[in-house]
Amino acid sequence: MFWVPLLLLAWVIAGVAGLRLCRAAVREAAAGRDDAGGGGELTLYEAAFLSGGPGRVADLTLVAMARQRRLLLAHTGWATVVDPRGRDDMERTVIGAIGPDGQSPIAPVRKAAATAEAVRALADRLVRAGLAVPEGDGRSVTE
């Protein structure tokens, strides 16, 4: 029976610590929203970059265009442009990487789109917002 008061004490300590953590998180979120000017939502491209880097942004663009039937992705590994008008910089980059013939293998398109200026601009925006680390910063996980 001696462990029951110790268990209750542990619950109280855990509850107080959790409450303090939640209050601190709410304060930080409110302060971050004030500093950012109210635009705290990520775009789909930004979320893709944060979850997988430039390659994920290229993949997202290809798949999104294919779902809208503006680009055909064949099981043979080729991409074919159906609608040559890009709706944003990333789509224009993919269409430009496919080339004037309107058809290209997917691998070079992914590589060209991942290294394009539109992705670098996206990365720069995320670095300025404090959500990403600049490329070549020299930091590692072990430091």
3-state per-residue secondary structure call for the chain: CCHHHHHHHHHHHHHHHHHHHHHHHHHHHHHHHHHHCCCCCCCHHHHHHHHHCHHHHHHHHHHHHHHCCCEEECCCCEEEECCCCCCCHHHHHHHHHHCCCCEEEHHHHHHHHHCCHHHHHHHHHHHHCCCCCCCCCCCCCCC
> What are the extents of the domains in the chain?
1-32, 44-128
pLDDT at 38: 46
75-96 pLDDT tens trace: 999 999 999 998 999 999 999 9
98-134 pLDDT tens trace: 988 889 999 999 999 999 999 999 999 998 888 888 8
pTM value? 0.67
pLDDT at 28: 78
pLDDT at 71: 94
pLDDT at 10: 94
Strands 103-105 and 78-81: antiparallel
Q: Please give the Cα distance from 123 to 136 (Å, whole number).
A: 13
Tell me the average pLDDT of the chain. Answer: 87
pLDDT at 26: 84
pLDDT at 32: 63
Q: What share of the chain has pLDDT > 90, as a percent?
A: 63
Nearest to 42, CA basis, from 129, 110, 124, 118: 129
pLDDT at 81: 94
